[in-house]
Every structure is written in structure tokens, then in C-alpha cells.
Amino acid sequence: MRLQLLLPTHIEVDEEVSKITAEALTGSFTLLPRHVDYAAPLAPGILAYETTSGESFVAINGGILVKTGDHVRVVASEAVEGRDLASLEQAIREKFEQLSESESRAQSAVQRIEADFVRRFIRMEESAQA
């Protein structure tokens, strides 16, 4: 069966697979090629799949899985791929560090904007009183 993991900006995974294991909101499940068509909301977790070269893993932040015929499409907003659990863990740590740095920069920018707003508001009040 064909697995496609679709993100907002690109296709993260597009491979022939023999097995997919995922975590739905109601619990984990496994799809095999002859499995009936299926749709499920996915919980944040690890999507595992088997190809001819072995098992691979993708951490997702939730999403939707739809199996129709021999196609399985997973749509998620973010994903981190790893060929084994150790490399996946390292990739996730690096992604969180990048997110933390981005959030810190964004928070600093918001604080500068707020401070500028307060300064301008005070100047406006002082001008109105003069």
C-alpha cells in the first residue's frame, strides 16, 4: 500500500509500505494492505511503518489518517522523521530547541512592541495634558 504523509508545505513521506501503526484518539491500531477503508483522527505520537528496507518512524503532532483502497494519506501540521527511535528522539530534541529559540525571539519582539506602545501612549497622554 502507498503511504503519504502530507504537511502544509510539502510531502514528508511518500513510500510503498507493508504495515502502518498509528495512535488514534481512541487507541493504537495497525493497518495492513487488505484492511478495510478507514478514517481516524490521530493523537500526537509516533507513526510507524514498514518498508522493504525496514521499519521507519515519524513523530506527528496529531492529524487525520484516511485509507482508501491501497492508499493511506495522513495529514498533519508538523512531523519529524527518523529511521530508528534513537535518531527520531534526537531529531525531536533538535526541533524543540529550534522552536524554543524561535519562541524566545518572538516573545522578545512582542515585549519590544508592547514597550513601544506604552511609551507612545504615555507621550500621547502628556501631549494631551499640555
Distance CA 11, CA 76 (A): 10
Neighbouring residues of 72: CB distance < 8 A, sequence distance ≥ 6: 1, 2, 3, 4, 17, 20, 31, 65, 66
Mean pLDDT across 64-87: 88
pLDDT reading at 121 higher than 80: no
pLDDT reading at 41 higher than 70: yes
The 10s digit of each residue's pLDDT in 44-63 is: 888 999 999 999 999 888 89
What residue ranges do the domains of the chain occupy? 1-83, 85-130
Mean pLDDT across 107-112: 72
pLDDT band (50, 70, 90) for residue 8: very high
Q: Which CATH architecture has domain 1-83?
A: Sandwich (2.60)
List the grid coordinates of 81. Answer: 522523521
- Residue 94's pLDDT is what? 73
Neighbouring residues of 66: CB distance < 8 A, sequence distance ≥ 6: 38, 39, 72, 73, 74
Specify the pTM: 0.69
pLDDT band (50, 70, 90) for residue 81: confident
- Residue 72's pLDDT is what? 97
pLDDT band (50, 70, 90) for residue 112: confident
Distance CA 105, CA 18 (A): 43
